[in-house]
Amino acid sequence: MMIDILVPELPESVADAVVAQWHKQPGDFVERDELLVEVETDKVILEVLAVASGTLETIIEKEGTTVLAKQILGKLKEGEAKAQQAESKVEPSVVNASPSVRRLIHEQDIDAQQIKGSGKGGAITREDIENQQNQDDASEEIDINVGREDKRVAMTRLRKRVAERLLEAKNVTAMLTTFNEVNMKPIMDLRKQYQPLFEEKHGVRLGFMSFYVKAVTEALKRYPQMNAAIDGDDIVYHNYFDISVAVSTPRGLVTPVIRDTDTLSFAQVEQTIKTLAVKGRDGKLSVDEMSGGNFTITNGGVFGSLLSTPIINPPQAAILGMHKIQDRPVAVAGKVEILPMMYVALSYDHCLIDGKDSVSFLVAIKELLEDPIRLLLDI
């Protein structure tokens, strides 16, 4: 029996998709529910699984082709195959890896046959790929002057969408940025004291992001215009707190949303961030998880950024940028002390937010982070 391999239903407001990667080739035997092909929209990657065991008969739509919902991607011939035949048709080094690692192998055009897996059962890990790349880089350095060439790669749908939104933010907002600095010693001392107990009870580490999210939430309560958006000639004030958190993934920057942050505990915030980060890395974020959001937090400090001006995520009115924590000499009560300091940057739409309110909002975040007990006492 011949079965059509179809493009799945696309998310609302998404017109089409692109065939991102075929994980099987004609003649390959596949088990039921095994990954056949991935299609990429400007928001998410959708996996197309085999609805039955059988052999991939033909590929109709090749990688890079634009497709519509329910369009036929290929044909699957239902039926069993001998185990040895099935194994001979599958590339062991590619199959023996997690989906995220297989995607990384494809995106970086790596010859998986050259990599010896160090994971369980010989599975290829991210460390194996990095080690292989380091070896390749070392060999390339020797021949760096031998030849000159360019490599042209088509932009992914996600990268195109990110570019469009960045240009939109620049063109439709009167964006300004205000800066301040935060003494992170109180939070660092608090984390050091309670980290073991927190992790033992909640099964997740106490990070900085939960403090940032809770401080922003409290500041948004005090300054509702920061939690608003412009819609035509109207200002829409939101009476709920959905905060987008910028997450870097192999495919680009995404901003999944933590919803109702005013009702979440520190542990719930950390657990939500961990879940969203893993989904983002593996390309598993749903449209709903990336939709909405009234304010964005981005942390360039994890990459070593000391100071930057983040770009607003429309239609939001503001974005907070966190940076690297670095020991610096600071004047305290007439004396110089070495303290772990962090610059913070607030970019905002001046069409909606006045300078006084933006500065006051950032100062409120600074005060809450420098005295984190206030977050627990709601003062």
Number of H helices, E strands in the chain: 11, 19
Instruction: Give the separation between CA 49 and CA 31, rounded to whole angstroms.
Output: 9
Instruction: Give the separation between CA 213 and CA 151, rounded to whole angstroms.
Output: 41
Catalytic member of 349, 354, 357, 378? 354
| 350 belongs to the catalytic site | yes
Q: pLDDT at residue 187 above 70?
A: yes
Range 48-75 average pLDDT: 90
Query: pLDDT tens across 272-323, in order?
Result: 999 998 888 777 887 788 888 999 999 988 889 999 999 998 889 999 999 9
Q: pLDDT at residue 91 above 50?
A: no
Please give the residue that has the higher pLDDT: either 336 or 11.
336
Which residues does 331 contact at the CB level (< 8 Å), separation at least 6?
Answer: 337
Average pLDDT, the chain: 84
Residue 6 host element (H or E): strand 2-6
Q: pLDDT at residue 95 above 70?
A: no
| 23 belongs to the catalytic site | no
Domain boundaries, the chain: 2-142, 159-377
Catalytic member of 350, 357, 371, 378? 350
Q: pLDDT at residue 225 above 60?
A: yes
Which pair of tokens denotes residue 292? 């909405």
Which residues does 243 contact at the CB level (< 8 Å), separation at least 6?
Answer: 213, 216, 217, 257, 258, 261, 293, 294, 295, 296, 297
Q: pLDDT at residue 12 above 80?
A: no
Report the phi/psi class of residue 54: left, alpha or beta, with left for phi > 0 and alpha for psi in -120 to 50. Answer: left
- CATH assignment of 2-142, given 3.40.50.300, 2.40.50.100, 3.40.50.150, 3.90.600.10? 2.40.50.100
Q: Please choose, from the candidates 336, 362, 360, 334, the residue with its C-alpha nearest in 3D space to the C-alpha of residue 347.
A: 362
Which residues does 142 contact at the CB level (< 8 Å), separation at least 6?
Answer: none
Which pair of tokens denotes residue 329? 């000499």
Q: Where in 52-174 does DSSP place strands (E)?
A: 54-59, 66-67, 72-78
Banded model confidence at residue 89, pLDDT cuts 50, 70, 90: very low
Range 211-230 average pLDDT: 95
Which residues does 112 contact at the CB level (< 8 Å), separation at least 6?
Answer: 91, 93, 94, 97, 105, 124
Which residues does 57 contact at the CB level (< 8 Å), separation at least 6?
Answer: 2, 26, 74, 75, 76, 77
Partners of residue 243 on adjacent β-strands: 258, 295
Partners of residue 253 on adjacent β-strands: 248
Range 175-201 average pLDDT: 94
Banded model confidence at residue 88, pLDDT cuts 50, 70, 90: very low
159-377 folds as: Chloramphenicol Acetyltransferase (3.30.559)
Type of residue numbered 59: I
The reply to whether domains 2-142 and 159-377 share a CATH topology is no
